[in-house]
Amino acid sequence: MEQQPILIDLPEELTGPRVVVRPFREEDARQVWEAVDESRERLEPWLPWVAGYRSPDDAVSFVRRARASFLLREDLVVGIFERESGGLLGGSGLHRIDWRIRAFEIGYWLRNGAEGRGYMRETVQLLTWLAFERLGANRVEIRMDPENVRSRRVPEGLGFVFEGTLRNCTAGRDGGPRDSHVFALIPEDYGRLDWPDEIRRYVEA
């Protein structure tokens, strides 16, 4: 039986100490194009969709699709914006959603110059909080290429459980099969973490 997305109420944005996480708007398309275009050499080895960005029009199409998918609760794509300046830092979201069992996957990317400064850690904290505290998540996972060491540091640093390696489960840039490392949290894991209370106090203040 095909699952139906749940039109659940969601906050329009999540604000952390340094980032604002919110759905993309059409006026964000220019920033999306600039961020992807300037970062493509670093992003393409890990994110095959980057190759599809060939002009600013591609970013406009993406933003429109992302907004529609968010409103339908099919794919909760969000932008990551610097709280102080409003500039786009990258993208993230809750993907591969299974509303029947409340399972979500967090994906993420950052533009050149934004990596290594804790922005992604904060973003993943906010989205994980949203999944468990507002969406009743039973599972939140993060996947990455085994060679993407920087990406792996995010779930490791936040206490996600390394569950193993899915072999030949995704297509690489050359079209050949690639492995994925899988990190995840279930409610029992989430309840043992020491950082959700800090995020909760900040978001609910």
Domain boundaries, the chain: 14-203
CATH C-level class of 14-203: alpha beta
Tokens 């039109």, located at residue: 7
pLDDT tens profile 89-128: 999 999 999 999 999 999 999 999 999 999 999 999 999 9
Query: Which residues lie across from 108 on neighbouring strands?
Result: 92
Q: What is the C-alpha separation between 50 and 125, in angstroms, rounded?
A: 25
- State the pLDDT at residue 2: 54
- State the pLDDT at residue 35: 98
Cα–chain center distance at 136: 18
- State the pLDDT at residue 5: 60
Contact present, 31 and 88 (Cβ < 8 Å) = yes
Q: What is the C-alpha separation between 116 and 139, in angstroms, rounded?
A: 27
Q: What is the C-alpha separation between 114 and 118, in angstroms, rounded?
A: 9
pTM of the predicted model as reported, rounded to 2 decimal places? 0.94
- State the pLDDT at residue 174: 76
List average pLDDT for each run of 10 residues in the chain, which is 205 residues long.
Answer: 68 95 97 97 92 94 97 96 97 97 98 96 98 97 95 97 95 84 98 94 83
Contact present, 122 and 108 (Cβ < 8 Å) = no
Q: What is the C-alpha separation between 103 and 53, in angstroms, rounded?
A: 29
